[in-house]
Each structure stands twice: as C-alpha cells, then as structure tokens.
C-alpha cells in the first residue's frame, strides 16, 4: 500500500514540477522584455517635466514653496527647476536630484508599497499620507491608466495579454483538431 501512495505522491509532485517549470519558462521572455523596457525607459531621459499625482494630496505649504505648478489640473515641476537639494513631495518626503527621472511612489501602507514595487516603482512607506503619491517623468502620458503605467508599459501589458489569449486559442484549436 505504501508503494502505491509513494507512486501517487511522486506523480503529483512530478506533474506540479513540470507545470511550474513550464510556467516559469513561458514567462521568462515576457519578464525579460518588461525588465528591458524598464531599463531602457525613454521617459526618464526625454521628459522635461515631473508629475505628482494625486493633486489633492499635494496642495500643501511645502508644495507651494517648491517648483511645483498646477497646470490643467496636473501638478508639474520643470526638471531644470530642481535644485541640488532635490524635490519636496507632500509634507515630509523628498526626492534627490540624481533620482528625479525615476518612478517614485510614497505609499500609505505596506501592501500598497508592494504593489508599486511590482510595477518597478521606487516605493517608500509614508504612513502620514492618506493616499499614495506617485511621482514620475511626464512623458508618454496619454493613456487612462496614467500615472501608474505610461503608454509604453500599457502597450507592453496589452501585447502580453493578447499574445497569451492568442496562444491559448491556438492551443485549443490544435486540441480540437486532434479530437
């Protein structure tokens, strides 16, 4: 009887290991492409302005003393106006001048920081905030998911979803032909 249980357990573990390896192998190209897109990120080089979102959270005395300007409902700062001391965000947060072109998130909780880190933001816990603040270069910002993803990132995610759906449909079609 133990021999049969051992065979069942070995079969289950083997099936799980093969599926996990296949999933990891299948996701590697998409993960590599996403990391390359993040490393190449032209918005960090091309953007003349930095955007702070949401605007309601940023209207504070600290923001009034900094280079932030309210333009068409968006809180923007010119990159050239950022001094060597960096940029003040909200009441207590600061971004150094060398890191101004990166994507930043000041999170109100640890789970929100984890979500921002999965989107390759530099996340920092700021428990004094009511909502999370997002600071990123204002470039490729025409999509409805801005400022969480820019146009290139959104196109990448859409391509991955369409490619996955197409692969599933193609596999389903091949299985139907064999039946």
User: What is the distance between the alpha carbons of residues 90 and 99, in angstroms, rounded to a whole number?
Assistant: 17
- Looking at per-residue confidence, does 4 or 98 come out higher? 4
pLDDT at 14: 95
User: What is the distance between the alpha carbons of residues 108 and 72, in angstroms, rounded to a whole number?
Assistant: 26
Q: Specify whether the CB–CB gap between 111 and 101 falls below 8 A.
A: no
Q: What tokens appear for 6 in the block?
A: 């051992």
User: In the chain, where are the structural domains located?
Assistant: 43-155
In which band, very low, low, confident or very high, does the pLDDT at 64 lie, cut at 50, 70 and 90?
low
Does this model's pTM top 0.85? no
pLDDT at 105: 92
pLDDT at 65: 56
pLDDT at 4: 93
């Amino acid at each position: 009887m133990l021999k049969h249980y051992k065979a069942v357990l070995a079969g289950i573990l083997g099936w799980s290991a093969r599926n996990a390896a296949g999933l990891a192998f299948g996701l590697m190209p998409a993960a590599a492409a996403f990391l390359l897109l993040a490393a190449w990120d032209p918005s960090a080089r091309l953007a003349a302005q930095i955007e702070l979102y949401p605007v309601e959270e940023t209207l504070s005395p600290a923001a009034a003393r900094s280079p932030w300007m309210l333009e068409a409902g968006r809180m923007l700062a010119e990159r050239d106006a950022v001094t060597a001391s960096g940029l003040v965000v909200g009441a207590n947060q600061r971004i150094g001048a060398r890191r101004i072109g990166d994507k930043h998130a000041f999170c109100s909780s640890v789970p929100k920081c984890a979500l921002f880190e999965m989107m390759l933001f530099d996340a920092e816990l700021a428990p004094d905030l009511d909502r999370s603040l997002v600071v990123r270069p204002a470039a490729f910002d025409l999509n409805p998911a801005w400022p969480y993803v820019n146009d290139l990132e959104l196109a990448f995610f859409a391509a991955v979803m369409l490619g996955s759906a197409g692969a599933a449909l193609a596999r389903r079609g091949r299985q139907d032909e064999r039946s």
